[in-house]
Structure 1
Amino acid sequence: MYPDNKLIQRVLSFEKEGIFEMDDENTYIDFMDYLDDESVAWMDENYDATPQTIMLESIRDDIFCQTN
């Protein structure tokens, strides 16, 4: 279901009863960078946002707003 990626698995390890509370700032920063990279990777050939890009950026923005 989730990518077999070390960072993703590290983030998933923080889950407790459906809530992710990351005490590790490095994991948080790495995950936010990962979301940025993935959102760019899903852009179309003209570098326009696709539905996947919009979804990833929305997730990133929600995480940022909830943690700052």
Structure 2
Amino acid sequence: MAERGEEPEPWAPREHLPADARRMGLNSLVPDGALLELAGSLDSAKRTHRLVAWVLLVVMVAPVLLTVVNVLR
């Protein structure tokens, strides 16, 4: 087991969560943490990863836009 401040074991899965998220107790087993982990693991050099990022953006923004439209109507 790694001590605090040491490098993780080479066989341990690499985490893509920001330090703030880890401090709040998020990890890949929590739904919000899993979404952050997915978004953090995307590579902008890959076309499919960019497509996934756009889809995630649309999925996150669509409910907000629909709510605003309903409120303004």
- Calculate the TM-score normalised by the size of structure 1: 0.33
Higher strand share: 1
What TM-score, normalized by structure 2, do the two folds share? 0.32
Larger Rg: 2
Higher normalized contact order (CA 8 Å, seq sep 6+, divided by chain length):
1
Higher helix proportion (structure 1 or 2)? 1
